Amino acid sequence: MGVPRVYTGYGAAAVGTNLTLVTLIGATNIRPGLSYLSIGCSAAPVDAATKFRVLRCTTTGTPSASVTPQANDPGDPASLCTVGGGAFGGANEPTYTAAAINRTWNLNQRNTLQWGAYPGREIMVPATANNGLGIRSIASTGSAEHEAMIEWIE
């Protein structure tokens, strides 16, 4: 296997109870691996806490924006994955697999989270249509918009 291709995508949404910021959806011919994640808030600083999780999903949901994945190397082909960004809201949320929590963080709005996987330890997505990962706020004491930037390998 050669060097994996690396792509980025993003999403932003107001946080709250069970609200998705961004999804990474694989395809039947590729197993992407989430290798980097950052979450931050550009709103006026307040002391608000939010619990974020990386969860497995079995449907894509309906985001308010489709994001075109960007290759870190402009010589690479287009990503085979799809990224959903922005507010999903209510019935438009992806379907998440019960108890399939890959990572969880409690984050103060004044902070920025950066997480990176060790090489070979990425959070993998199955090569199954419409399956992937979602970055989701589980609970929050505030409602400011947060942004999530993801990076994955193919």
Domain boundaries, the chain: 6-153
Residue 1 in this model has a pLDDT that exceeds 70: no
> Per residue in 15-49, pLDDT tens?
989 999 999 999 999 999 999 999 999 888 899 99
Distance CA 74, CA 7 (A): 10
What average pLDDT is seen over the chain?
A: 93
Reference 148, options 18, 59, 53; nearest CA is 53
What Å distances lie between residue 43 and 55, 63, 145, 153, CA to CA? Answer: 25, 22, 7, 30
Q: Output the pTM of the full model.
A: 0.94
